[in-house]
Structure 1
């Protein structure tokens, strides 16, 4: 993905490439991909269509940038944290948990919006399938590095990942504090090991620093 330009288009002093992308992302999340239209976005931004074509070749170009942004945030965050060096599988799982705990790393509303978009686009469906494979593979490999055999690593990765995605799809409204109160039990479930107080304290410090 090309980084959004900082400089606005001539004649549109307050509108940058990122303004277009950001509004399009908000619209995708709130109203779906069919509402991501050049005219309506321009009206909301208070600029003409010429501003849009300064930054993008077409509406499809904008949609491609939205999909690239989703990949560079949601998928990249999970893969990067699953690949981080960790002293134990518990710490490895806690690294991945950071994505679920901080929406600046993984935006569940955006993920859900892209999954809805995939119902209307075969290309986006393929992108979703590839992202799920990449995320699962990274988590599976994390388990393998910590001594789990191939099948156990595969199944544990699926349980961890699908549970969380299902949590978002069901739109459960459990407060973060309530989930964190079960942290040790979640870690036992996902690893088969007993976390110690230092493990839990480490994650709580991350939560407090958000």
Structure 2
């Protein structure tokens, strides 16, 4: 079942979809991303999206040539959000390797920064499409290159930097998929130990405190009103 329409307008409740009111390209993208994450690429169908958005399917063609054009846009969105976010976080200013890893952890706490459900959906899609698999591999390579460079920046030898980059990357990818059922506080309690495992070093107390503050702020912001 699809969620309520994810409309781009500021207040869709006061701007109902009646008469000639049109949706934006972002509305179509939001609806398609929602379906992709919930039902996979096969569920992304123009007619169904139009029904969900309560508009004529003809309005879809104002923004996209066809369904393939929409799917390409979804793939590009993944590249410009998830992959770009992890690369950016790996290159973010940090005084120590443990602080740098905390920057990476932001991706696993903040879904506005890195959408794990979208990553899983793209990986599932890649099993069905060689073209998407090629794009996925390029994205993985870009992320791992950035993480390896991060460890190298803090003095790790090339082979060790590569190994540690792989450990932190693949562990973080699978963390949510493991469905551990942790509370936020249980997850945060493990952070100092994870940092030792990933870096071989103890994080400073102020680094841990800063990450805890960030994580709790994100959780409070995303909690239902």
TM-score, length-scaled by structure 2: 0.86
How far apart are the structure 2 equivalents of 1:49 and 1:15? 11
Partner of 2:58: 50
Partner of 2:170: 162
Shift of 1:12: 4.3
Partner of 2:161: 153
Cα–Cα, structure 1 residues 157 and 12, in superposed 2: closer, same or farther, change >3 Å?
farther
Return 5+ residue gaps in structure 1 as ranges: none
Q: Does 1:35 align with 2:34?
A: no
Partner of 2:140: 132
Q: Does 1:76 align with 2:84?
A: yes
Q: Does 1:204 align with 2:207?
A: no
2:99/2:203 contact within 8 Å kept:
no
1:78/1:135 contact within 8 Å kept:
yes
Partner of 1:94: 102
Return 5+ residue gaps in structure 2 as ranges: 1-7, 10-18, 219-225
**Match for 2:129 among 90, 111, 121?**
121
Structure 1 residues 82-123: Cα deviation after superposition (integer angstroms, max 9, x where no partner): 011210101110111110111111111110011111111111
CA RMSD of aligned residues (A): 1.5
